[in-house]
C-alpha cells in the first residue's frame, strides 16, 4: 500500500472597509483552506462580512473538488445572510 502524501494549507486575509469619514464600516474575512494529494485537491473558501460592531452580516462558503489533473469535478456553495 502506497503512503498517502497529503498537504494542507490555509490563507486568511482580513480587509477593513473604511467610509468617507475615515471610520471603519466593517470587515471582510477571506479564509481559504486547500488540501492536496496525488489524487486531487479540495478547496474551501469562506468569506465573512462583519459590520462595524463585529456582527456577522453575511457569509459565503464554497467547496471545490479537483481531480489529479486539476479539473473541477464538484462544487458546492452556500450564501448565508444574517442581517
Pairing of strands 7-18, 24-37: antiparallel
Query: What is the reported pTM?
Result: 0.82
Tens of pLDDT, residue by residue, the chain (83 residues): 456 799 999 999 999 999 999 999 999 999 999 999 999 999 999 999 999 999 999 999 999 999 999 999 999 998 888 76
- Residue 61 is placed in which grid cell? 462558503
What's the distance, CA 57 to chain centroid? 16
Amino acid at each position: 500500500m502506497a503512503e498517502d502524501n497529503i498537504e494542507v494549507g490555509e490563507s486568511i486575509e482580513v480587509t477593513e472597509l473604511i467610509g468617507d469619514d475615515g471610520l471603519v464600516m466593517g470587515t471582510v474575512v477571506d479564509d481559504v483552506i486547500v488540501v492536496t494529494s496525488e489524487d486531487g485537491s479540495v478547496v474551501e473558501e469562506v468569506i465573512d462580512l462583519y459590520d462595524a460592531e463585529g456582527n456577522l452580516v453575511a457569509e459565503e462558503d464554497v467547496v471545490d473538488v479537483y481531480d489529479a489533473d486539476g479539473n473541477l469535478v464538484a462544487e458546492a456553495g452556500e450564501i448565508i445572510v444574517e442581517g
